Amino acid sequence: MTPTKMKTPISIFFPLLSLLSFISFPASSQNLDNFLQCLSLQFPNSSSITNVTYTQQNSSYESVLEASIRNRRFNTPSTPKPLVIVTPSLESHIQATISCSKENGMNFRIRSGGHDYEGLSYVSSETPFVILDLVNFRSVQIDVANNTAWVQSGATIGVLYNTIAKTSTTLGFTAGVWATVGVGGHFSGGGYGMVTRKYGLASDNVIDARIIDVNGRILDREAMGEDLFWAIRGGGGASFGVILAWKINLVSVPETVTVFRVPRTLEQNATNLVHRWQYVADKMDENLTVRIFLRRVNSSLGVNGTTVEAAFTSLYLGGIDTLLPLMQQSFPELGLVRENCTEMSWIQSVLNFGGFSINQPIDVLLNRSSVVDSLYFKGKSDFVTEPISLTGIETILKRFNEQPQLESSEVSFNPYGARMSEISVSETPFPYRNGTIYNLHYSVSWQEEGASAFDRHMNWIRDFYAFMAPYVTQNPRSAYLNYRDLDIGVNNATGNTSYEQASVWGLKYFGVNFERLAQVKTVADPGNFFSVEQSIPVL
């Protein structure tokens, strides 16, 4: 099956949000005039491109810009704003936007869902810049006969899950839990989720793609070649071109799955349970994923009125009667009982892990806005290849409980093993395979305005990350691209960045695959047009 022309509406209406202050760019007026004239010359007999082009003078500019801003850190009066936003409805609109941006020296940002942890899909330190927003490229076409789908990059994983569930009760996909994440960034950076141990990452299940390259050519897997196809499946697509759509293998899911969440505090043996989990989580049955979410909670039994809760949170691809003996065999210390477990459909588990009620209509997954949109957020990541000692776990939990007054902080332990251990380190750019026990994700979020709150939350997560250094991978200290973190290094603000400079952050994300990514980049985009603060360098 090949993708047909996917029709999408030219006009998309967004809720009106608060006005922002604008940044004035040097010579921006001339840049803008030249850019708009360039676009109009490419569509001399049509107004289609003007209908999807928004300048700062357009009454819809604010709402279009803010519709996919997922982090208030990048929605402030001092945040650089794009000179123009294009929300293409035709592939030719994308080709023209690339061409006119190149011609007029405009930095280029590609946004699918807006969940980049550092806002790189809609904020640029290099100005003036253009946002290409793929919100109109969000079709999903399911081929049940072949268990495949074509998914446009502007679709969210919620839309993908919803469309699959309306087509089949025994098909699913392996991707993340947050419904508003766009597939464009998610797939191209990896894509971890609740069935990753069974089926690998989202990027491991991509079998074809369509991309517009720096020269405006539309290429599928055969036309782009295996090197570029390799690079965009985990190396970050925005370094190489505009990915229009992905062809994916859907995965089999049973009609009944089981979910449990078992919270244990420090006073309920959490320290020993977290320590023990490290030895079993990556070795459990491939149908079983048990994650841990650490949070600080109020407790009359804890030190200074607080304690640490470790919530053991799980999805099992099967029923309770099969799950209970599996847990008794692999992790009896947790003490799982039938009353902890709930059977449901796979799509109900998607709702559950996405923060919805399992009884809500599945169309809630189609909503492109979410509660995170109103939050300030910072995330960081690590990988663990050797179990942390019991003393180490005790020290970590104690330190976590000593945090200052934060609105929301969390550390998640995300197990690997099973299918993830079967895929070679160099199969895709994502290198954390056999030998990786689990990934750590640190996050902090808050709503309070002002510099004091900003500093308190940002300083805490950076300090905690520094504190964790002895317990995680070293030389390099590994990180996950989809949990993007500019603290680990950035490219030069202007001009090209050398491979050696970019290696400071690149080796942390990609390990031994970073050099090959740079080789592919040099061929695919030798002029480094597709450049952001952490884009792959040209050799």
Query: Has residue 72 got a pLDDT over 50?
Result: yes
pTM over 0.85: yes
> How do residues 185-222 score in pLDDT, each as one tens digit?
999 999 999 999 999 999 999 999 999 999 999 999 99
CA distances from 184 to 167, 231, 244, 336 (A): 22, 14, 8, 38
Distance CA 291, CA 307 (A): 19
Over residues 175-191, mean pLDDT: 98
Q: What does the pLDDT read at residue 209? A: 98
Q: What does the pLDDT read at residue 46? A: 81
Helix (H) or strand (E) holding 212: strand 206-212
Cis-peptide, bond into residue 128, ω within 30° of zero: yes
Q: What does the pLDDT read at residue 9? A: 30
> How do residues 349-379 score in pLDDT, each as one tens digit?
999 999 999 999 999 999 998 877 889 999 9
CA distances from 472 to 136, 225, 272, 379 (A): 41, 36, 19, 16
CA distances from 392 to 63, 250, 257, 304, 461 (A): 48, 40, 35, 22, 18
Cis-peptide, bond into residue 3, ω within 30° of zero: no
Express as a percent the part of the chain with pLDDT over 70.
95
Whether 301 and 267 have beta carbons less than 8 Å apart is answered as: yes
Residue 27's pLDDT band, with cuts at 50, 70 and 90, is low
Whether 534 and 505 have beta carbons less than 8 Å apart is answered as: yes
Whether 104 and 38 have beta carbons less than 8 Å apart is answered as: yes
Q: Which of residues 27 and 333 earns the better pLDDT score?
A: 333
> 């803008």: which residue's tokens?
32
Q: What does the pLDDT read at residue 496? A: 85
Helix/strand/coil for 248: strand
> How do residues 133-145 score in pLDDT, each as one tens digit?
999 999 999 999 9
Measured on CA atoms in the order 509, 514, 518, 523, is the torsion positive or negative?
negative
In order, the DSSP letters of 414-476 are EE--THHHHS-TTSSS----TT--EEEEEEEEE---SHHHHHHHHHHHHHHHHHTGGGS--SS
> How do residues 235-270 score in pLDDT, each as one tens digit?
999 999 999 999 999 999 999 999 999 999 999 999
Largest CA distance in the chain: 73
Express as a percent the part of the chain with pLDDT over 90.
90
Whether 124 and 490 have beta carbons less than 8 Å apart is answered as: no
Residue 5's pLDDT band, with cuts at 50, 70 and 90, is very low
Question: Which one of 54, 416, 438, 483 is the catalytic residue?
Answer: 483
Distance CA 223, CA 536 (A): 21
List, in sequence order, every residue forming a beta bridge with 264; answer none if it has no partner: 310
Over residues 482-488, mean pLDDT: 98
Degrees to nearest 5, angle at CA 538 with 186 and 200:
25
Q: Which of residues 381 and 300 earns the better pLDDT score?
A: 381
* Residues composing the chain: 539
In order, the DSSP letters of 93-112 are HHHHHHHHHHHTT-EEEEES
Structure tokens at 404: 């200052």
Q: What does the pLDDT read at residue 370? A: 82
**380, amino acid identity:** K
Query: Has residue 23 got a pLDDT over 80?
Result: no
Helix (H) or strand (E) holding 53: strand 53-55
CA 111 to chain centre: 12
> Is 483 known to be catalytic?
yes
Q: Angle at which helices 91-103 and 28-42 pack, to 10 degrees?
A: 140
> How do residues 106-155 score in pLDDT, each as one tens digit?
999 999 999 999 999 999 988 899 999 999 999 999 999 999 999 999 99
Helix/strand/coil for 124: coil
Helix/strand/coil for 497: coil
> How do residues 497-519 score in pLDDT, each as one tens digit?
999 999 999 999 999 999 999 99
Distance CA 379, CA 462 (A): 9
Over residues 442-450, mean pLDDT: 97
Question: HSE on the CB side for 319, CA within 13 Å?
Answer: 2
Helix/strand/coil for 115: coil
Distance CA 483, CA 509 (A): 10
Query: Has residue 451 got a pLDDT over 70?
Result: yes
Whether 183 and 156 have beta carbons less than 8 Å apart is answered as: yes
Whether 296 and 409 have beta carbons less than 8 Å apart is answered as: yes
